[in-house]
Each structure stands twice: as C-alpha cells, then as structure tokens.
Amino acid sequence: MVILVFALPEEARVVRRRIQWQKSPVNVSRGSFAGQEVSLAFVGISAVRIGELERSIDQVKPRMVISSGFAGGTRSLLEAGDFVLSTNCTDTDIAKTLRQHQEIFDAAGPFVQVQRVASASDKWSLNRLRGACAVDMESETIASLCRRKGISLVTARMISDAIDEAIPAIFTQKKVSRLSDVHGAVGFAARMLQLTRKLADRLEALAGEL
C-alpha cells in the first residue's frame, strides 16, 4: 500500500479520477493507480490536518508515502509545470535511484517549508540563503511524521509559480484591489487546471517506478 498525500483535494482532482477504486474493509478508501495499491490523504494547508495522515498510516500500515501537490519554484530555471524531486524530504537511497529518471523529473534539490505563501522576493531569498529548489507549506511536516513512523517517503511536487511570480491575491485570501488582480487570477486558475493533469501524468510514471 502506498499513501498519496496532498495538501488539498483540488490538487488531486485528476489523480482521484484515475484511481480504480475498490471496496475496503477499513474506513480508508483504496484503489489501484499505476499498478500500485494506493490510498489518498489530505493534510490541509500548512499541514494543519497532519493527524489524519497519521491515523491513516496507523490503519493501513503503508510501505511508502508519496507526498505531492504543488510548490513555488526557487531556482531561476524552473518553470510552472516542472516536476521536482525533493532531496531533503525523500529517503536518501530512493532519491539516489529516482534522480536517474530524467523522463520523470525536471530537477531535484532541497525543499523549504514556510509559514505563509511565499512572495517573489521571499523565493529569491530562500534560493540565495538556503539553496532551496522549491518552497511549500507541508513537506517538512510530512517528512517528520514519516521518519517518526519509520515509513519510506518520496516527496515530489510540480511547480505552480516560478521564482519571479507571485500567486494571485485572490488565492492567498488577500484583498483584491485592481481589475488586473482578477485577470491574473483567471489566468492562474486556467494554468492550474492544466497542471493538475500534468501532475497526474508524472505521478503515474513515478508510482510505476516504485
């Protein structure tokens, strides 16, 4: 059993449709995805629901957790749609093997977890000061739980916004003050609909290698 973990159900919109769901004797949905028996778990933004993942781990006793979803890019060459392997939130031996699969991953490097949505200036600082490849709000918390439980972990996320981009205000619960903010939000939403399909493609390829 592999648990696929995301912050929000919206990130797994396409993945959920591609899973061949089965009846489960326990109160955990499970199915088949890329030849793997899988279950889904959602930890919420900033991993506020990490306890739900812990209960799922205790119930199904997975052999592995795949932590995925979206992240902000903190390297200048990364673009929206690039699939990035975290080297600090993935088991070392697994990361070494997976880095050889250039058909799956566009880059690999350290992820940094932050408390709030990172601005463009935040992302440049994280790259310069911490050598970060990507930034999110959940990966380190999930990795800490997996280490404590002794569960193998792969963390791989798709870049939603490049280092010089900011996520539109409407998606970060900030006040929308200009018409351009609305236009930017519409464009970003359309991008994310496309990227959830691309994310599902890469996760299928990744699961097939594990």
Listed by start position, the domains of the chain span: 2-209
Predicted local distance difference test score (pLDDT) of residue 101: 86
- Span 12-18, average pLDDT: 96
- Span 38-47, average pLDDT: 95
Exposure letters 78-87 (e unless 16+ CB within 10 A, then b): bebbbbbbbb
- Span 3-15, average pLDDT: 96
pLDDT at 187 over 60: yes
For domain 2-209, the question of CATH label 3.40.228.10 is answered with no
pTM reported for the whole predicted model: 0.89
